Structure 1
Amino acid sequence: MTTSIDYRAVFQALPGMVALLTPELVYADANEDYLRLVGRQRDQVVGRHLIDVFPDNPNDPAASGSRNVQSSLYRVLATGERDAMALQRYDIEDPDRPGEWAERYWSPVNAPVPGPDGKVVLLVHRVEEITELIRARGGPASSRRLLEAELYTRARELQEVNERLRQAHAREREVALALQEAMLPATRQGRSHRAAVRYRPAIGSLNVCGDWYDVVNLVGGNRLGVSVGDVVGHGLAASCVMGQLRSALTAASRVALGPAQALDVLGHYAHVVDGAESATAVTTFIDFDERTIAYSSAGHLPPALVHADGRVEFLDRATDPPLDARPDPRPRIQAATRYAEGATLALYTDGLVERRREDIDTGLARLADALHRHRHAEPEVLADAVLLELLPPGGATDDTALVVVRL
């Protein structure tokens, strides 16, 4: 007889201190042993940032336990691999007696929890409480001082390693962004039409350089092809895959009969490109003489069409699985819609509308509202207004690409 397992109950019953944190280092949950041994209630931990709950002891200039744990968690985010830390002295403030700090010794291990797309969605922070063992072996104060000196030396070594990693990530980010900028087109292809393009990289060194856009004059008539896409992954590898897919779609769009056929070609090409698995793209063919938009989507969010009367329509009647999602690609579907002069078309990537622990429809409604309110602004002004309203003040944790075309 098969019975379902209550994994939340299992998590709470785990022996030892275990906490779950988001990629922003905010506590998502903590088991009973963790809360008991740190002397905190659940509402004093869950929903708060790691450093806010457990800052370094301000009375000890050498205190670095909290910063070391934070650096370890960032390494796990960057590498996707488990990180076992050296022994840490981690003083904890008494919640009932502010200003009084208890000396604690912990042995932490941090591990990633990947989501379906391979990105780290949670961090497991497991702590072994060994304070009593250290005290028992430390004996007199002189022994404890030797132990603290060893801990301090290891902490300094760890900080140096962390700094080298940070510098390496920063260099990779700079190269990747330079490559991204070189490969993404300016609006010169659509110079006969009023169009604005924007690209905003993610904050930090993670999840950067997977988003792309394309604006290309199509052969025959007064037509324009506009596309956006998203490659799974980050860094130089994602930038290289992005460049290959964008160039392939540009070439395909110039000769294809419609956007579905262009994505068919791109899908076959993605099948032989390492790193293109699960990449998404949406492409639109705009005919300014006929005032029609033909579109097709490979697993991407729907373009937003702001009609001249202010109504916002999401073009979602031609959505298929992502590129290279099927071992034997099938012909993709295509749909078309009409518009009146003065309408506006917006294509975007998920960094603009997706937020953790929020339904995607909420983000789409936020986008529709911003486009409606700013619909009379020129594309350049409208694009800046949408980014200002929808992106978090400190920057998004995912790339964002946006293309706005006045029809």
Structure 2
Amino acid sequence: MADPPQPADPFVPLLEESAEDLYEGAPCGYLSVLPDGTVARVNQTFLDWTGYRRTDVLGHRVQSFYTIGSRIFHETHLGPLLHMQSEVRGIAIEFRRADGSRLDTLVNVVVRRNPNTGSTALRMTVFDATDRRSYERELLNERRRAERNAAHIRVLQEMEAHCASIDRAEDIVAPIVAAGTEAFDATETAVWLLHPQESVLTVAGPDAPATAPATLDESGPEAHAVRLADVVVFESPGPDARAVTPLVADERVLGVVSFGFPAGRRIAADEVQLMRTIGRQAGQALERVRLHEETARRAWQSAYLARLSRALDEAVGSADRARRLVALLVPELGEYAQVSLVEGEQAEGTSSSVRSPTGGTGPADGVIAAGSGGPWPISAQVRAAVRSGGGAPVPLAGPDGRRGLALPLRARNAMIGMLLLAGEPAASSDRSEPDFLLDLADRVGLALDNARLAEQDREVARILQRSLLISERPTDSRFQVATVYRPAVETLEVGGDWYDTFTTSTGSVGVVVGDVVGRGIRAASAMGQLRSAVRAVAKTRCSPATVLRHMDDFVTTLEAGQMTTLAYAELALDTGVLRYACAGHPPPLLLPPHAAPRYLWDGRSGPLGTHTASRSRREAELSVPRGSRLLLYTDGLVERRGERIDQGLGRLAEALDARRTAPLGALAQQLSDAMLDGEGGHDDTCLLALAFEAAPRFHADVPAEVTRLSPLRARLHEWLAGCDVPEPEQYGIVLACSEAAANAIEHGYQSDPSGVVSVTATIDGDILDLRISDSGRWLAPQASADRGRGMALMGRLMDDLVVDRGEGTSVLMRRQFRRTTR
């Protein structure tokens, strides 16, 4: 076996140290301790570590060199363990150095016994644990830091989760306060939001204290954090220690969060970093919520303005639109709303009011209002301020302390009125922002002005239509005519429906009903031209098909008349032969005296102006027995939304059959009421009823002499009595007839006895039609205090009075009466 290697010569002296040298210079401390704790021996290594002299240690109890904690540990743990185990290892003991500092050590203690004497001693080996304890402290600190980071991450995650579910900016305060309390043990957390237009910080949140707003030029920590855009820490031994972090989004400061701490609280660097992170995360969440609120607000405003515009468009007339406007504004935009319509410089509005669901009261004259509280008087100074305000809302103070805003209503570079809003909106104060209110006022002003202009157009068209529909009706004992015209209720704009009755020859009468496409003045004007053209062509004794062909040629020069529909019929009064033609119009309805109603479907072709229809105009002919009734009408009478046209035609036939015995005038009105349910429809309706029968008729030709009026009155009295007209009614009718005849003698013929005044009266049911005609030439009467009362008297005695001056003068009067029962 080979010998082990021998050490090199340079190391031999080092390896040949004595036992004492090894003890004294050992890399650990050695202490020999008597059972009572007295140090009996100590090596130099321990003395070097602790800085004591040997004399300072020997003879002293070892516990006196411990720190207080280690001394207690020795007495309570180390001693009992040695007694039970006679050995302990790796015990952490802190020795107190000579300079008072601490020495971290790990100690092994073994109890040595002398078998001969039975005495004991403690042999204590001390290892320097300073580096190990430093490492352990660093490790513990890192662990604690990691735990804090995990807690911070959890706080941030919880705050982000809460912020993600928030849809109102004011609700973001609660998760920020919760994060500050949990992450920093803050005694007080407050959120200040920055107003972008005013550069003012205001405490936010439902439970925020009543703290005055802070401007950015102040010296407070909140304003300083905004200016610095970073965390500001104010550590103070007093009660005002706090840290303020800005709420940042896209490098913009939206506000700050202020954390309050107890006196003497030190804020660590990682806490400052967490505050920055909270500020960024909360700022981004606040920006998202604000964008969401802005989007929702804009969407609501757009939807509200669209709904308001639709509602105003559905109302007809400026007063109706103003009523609907204030009803929609309350309570959405305020507790009270008021509209004043002005003309020129004076507040002249249509006086009306609506009552809101919340119990609003009606306004004073000249305004339209809704909402709680009484009317709000508008002074001349307020009007001047609104007019000169450049369109901006003008704040007002009401007589009862209410606050409001006045907005000008403008259209076409003119102020047409004012809108006043008072009180808070129902949901959010953001609904009353100035830009939105100005947009609303612009739309309202234009809608009200459009309604005013439309009213003017409608009035012109209505006057034009009325003047065109009222004309001389032929009178003959062999037929009667009754008409009904009803405008649509869904729009007050007049349409192009018309009717006409005229004689085409001595023994024939023509009736026509037409419908011009469109509405308004244009349609009414076209209707008048077509009506006159049909009458003129028909009087040349053309057949119905020929009349339609001539009308096709006419509408080539009248664009508004193209696609017009009409039904024209001509009745020979002696033979009862009826010839008719329909140009795209609903079919006439015939009611024979002893048969069911039937529609006349023959003689049909397309509307006027259509190319194919103009080349194939057709007509039809049939014999009508006396006692028959013929209906001509426009499509508004039978057409209904959601209903087939044949259903409407069936209802009309049933309604006519059920009323076959009614007087003609009453029949026309009853049919109109039955088909329209007592109301109007979506279109104008025009109905003409022709009765081919002998009605009671009175006729007299009186020479133009005043002395011949007395016999006329007597004959008319006798005829009226024979027709069961009540006696009081007879006197009024005879007096009106006498006045009209006297006017014809005096003004038409200037008392020329060669002139003739024709008096014709017919009775249909309980309606009397009276006509007094002359062919003279009327002169303007001379002014006199005793003149001009005849027309007023006739107007009071009769229900209707029409004067038709064409070739001569005809006075048409109508009166409804109740027959005398026998």
TM-score (normalised: structure 2): 0.33
Question: Match of 2:484?
Answer: 198
Question: Match of 2:450?
Answer: 165
Distance 1:340 1:321, change over 3 A: same
1:349 equivalent to 2:634? Answer: yes
Question: Match of 1:380?
Answer: 665
1:156 equivalent to 2:397? Answer: no
What's the secondary structure of 1:285's corresponding residue?
strand
Query: Matches of 1:228 and 1:271 in 2, distance apart?
Result: 20
1:389 equivalent to 2:630? Answer: no
Q: CA deviation at 1:237?
A: 0.2
Question: Match of 2:524?
Answer: 239
Distance 1:374 1:169, change over 3 A: same
Asked whether the 8 Å contact 2:516–2:527 carries over to 1, the reply is yes
591, 597, 608: which one aligns with 1:323: 608
What's the secondary structure of 2:495's corresponding residue?
coil
1:189 equivalent to 2:474? Answer: yes
Query: Matches of 2:314 and 2:491 in 1, distance apart?
Result: 14
Question: Match of 1:212?
Answer: 498
1:256 equivalent to 2:497? Answer: no
1:223 equivalent to 2:464? Answer: no
Q: CA deviation at 1:379?
A: 1.1
Q: CA deviation at 1:318?
A: 0.7
The 5 A counterparts of 1:54-203 are: 66-71=307-312, 145=430, 148-186=433-471, 188-190=473-475, 192=477, 193-203=479-489
Q: CA deviation at 1:394?
A: 3.6
Q: CA deviation at 1:145?
A: 3.5
The 5 A counterparts of 1:361-372 are: 361-372=646-657
The alignment yields a C-alpha RMSD, in angstroms, of 2.7
Question: Match of 1:335?
Answer: 620
Q: Provide, for residues 116-145 of structure 1, a one-character-per-residue CA deviation record: whole Å limited to 9, x for no partner.
A: xxxxxxxxxxxxxxxxxxxxxxxxxxx974
Q: CA deviation at 1:209?
A: 2.3
Q: CA deviation at 1:154?
A: 1.9
Distance 1:337 1:171, change over 3 A: same
Query: Matches of 2:463 and 2:490 in 1, distance apart?
Result: 15
Amino acid at match of 1:209: G
Long gaps (5+) in structure 2:
1-303, 317-328, 333-427, 693-822
Query: Matches of 1:153 and 1:166 in 2, distance apart?
Result: 20
Distance 1:373 1:66, change over 3 A: same
Asked whether the 8 Å contact 2:605–2:613 carries over to 1, the reply is no
Q: CA deviation at 1:256?
A: 3.1
Q: CA deviation at 1:191?
A: 5.1
Query: Matches of 1:378 and 1:274 in 2, distance apart?
Result: 40
Structure possessing the higher relative contact order (Cα contacts under 8 Å, 6 or more residues apart): 1
Query: Matches of 2:623 and 2:452 in 1, distance apart?
Result: 51
Question: Match of 2:596?
Answer: 311
Distance 1:376 1:296, change over 3 A: same
Q: CA deviation at 1:156?
A: 2.4
Asked whether the 8 Å contact 1:319–1:333 carries over to 2, the reply is yes
Asked whether the 8 Å contact 1:217–1:225 carries over to 2, the reply is yes
Asked whether the 8 Å contact 1:190–1:224 carries over to 2, the reply is no
Asked whether the 8 Å contact 1:190–1:216 carries over to 2, the reply is no
Moved more, 362-371 or 251-260: 251-260
Query: Matches of 2:474 and 2:611 in 1, distance apart?
Result: 32
Q: Provide, for residues 185-205 of structure 1, a one-character-per-residue CA deviation record: whole Å limited to 9, x for no partner.
A: 446224543110111112254
Distance 1:253 1:241, change over 3 A: same
Long gaps (5+) in structure 1:
1-62, 76-87, 92-142
Asked whether the 8 Å contact 2:458–2:493 carries over to 1, the reply is no
Query: Matches of 2:690 and 2:313 in 1, distance apart?
Result: 44
Asked whether the 8 Å contact 1:187–1:197 carries over to 2, the reply is no
Q: Provide, for residues 20-76 of structure 1, a one-character-per-residue CA deviation record: whole Å limited to 9, x for no partner.
A: xxxxxxxxxxxxxxxxxxxxxxxxxxxxxxxxxxxxxxxxxxx8774333235779x
Q: CA deviation at 1:180?
A: 0.5
Amino acid at match of 1:197: T
Distance 1:256 1:67, change over 3 A: same
Q: Provide, for residues 195-228 of structure 1, a one-character-per-residue CA deviation record: whole Å limited to 9, x for no partner.
A: 10111112254662210111011114x2110011
Query: Matches of 2:431 and 2:489 in 1, distance apart?
Result: 41
Distance 1:328 1:292, change over 3 A: closer
Query: Matches of 1:212 and 1:311 in 2, distance apart?
Result: 27
Query: Matches of 1:363 and 1:185 in 2, distance apart?
Result: 28
Asked whether the 8 Å contact 2:673–2:679 carries over to 1, the reply is no
Question: Match of 2:560?
Answer: 275
Asked whether the 8 Å contact 2:512–2:568 carries over to 1, the reply is yes
Q: May I ask how many residue pairs the two structures share in their alignment? A: 282
Query: Matches of 1:281 and 1:146 in 2, distance apart?
Result: 53
Provide the identity percentage: 32
Asked whether the 8 Å contact 2:513–2:634 carries over to 1, the reply is yes
Distance 1:351 1:203, change over 3 A: same
Higher Rg of the two aligned structures: 2
Asked whether the 8 Å contact 2:499–2:514 carries over to 1, the reply is yes
Q: CA deviation at 1:149?
A: 3.1
What's the secondary structure of 1:275's corresponding residue?
helix
Distance 1:326 1:146, change over 3 A: closer
Asked whether the 8 Å contact 1:200–1:400 carries over to 2, the reply is yes
1:299 equivalent to 2:584? Answer: yes
What's the secondary structure of 1:68's corresponding residue?
helix
Distance 1:200 1:389, change over 3 A: same
Asked whether the 8 Å contact 1:207–1:398 carries over to 2, the reply is no
Amino acid at match of 1:377: A
Asked whether the 8 Å contact 1:198–1:402 carries over to 2, the reply is yes
Q: CA deviation at 1:148?
A: 2.7
Query: Matches of 1:144 and 1:285 in 2, distance apart?
Result: 70
Distance 1:401 1:156, change over 3 A: same
Distance 1:328 1:184, change over 3 A: same
Asked whether the 8 Å contact 1:291–1:338 carries over to 2, the reply is yes
Amino acid at match of 1:253: A
TM-score (normalised: structure 1): 0.64
Distance 1:393 1:149, change over 3 A: farther
What's the secondary structure of 1:389's corresponding residue?
helix
543, 565, 569: which one aligns with 1:284: 569
Distance 1:246 1:335, change over 3 A: same
What's the secondary structure of 1:257's corresponding residue?
coil
Q: CA deviation at 1:262?
A: 1.2
What's the secondary structure of 1:317's corresponding residue?
coil
Asked whether the 8 Å contact 2:481–2:691 carries over to 1, the reply is yes
Query: Matches of 2:447 and 2:431 in 1, distance apart?
Result: 24
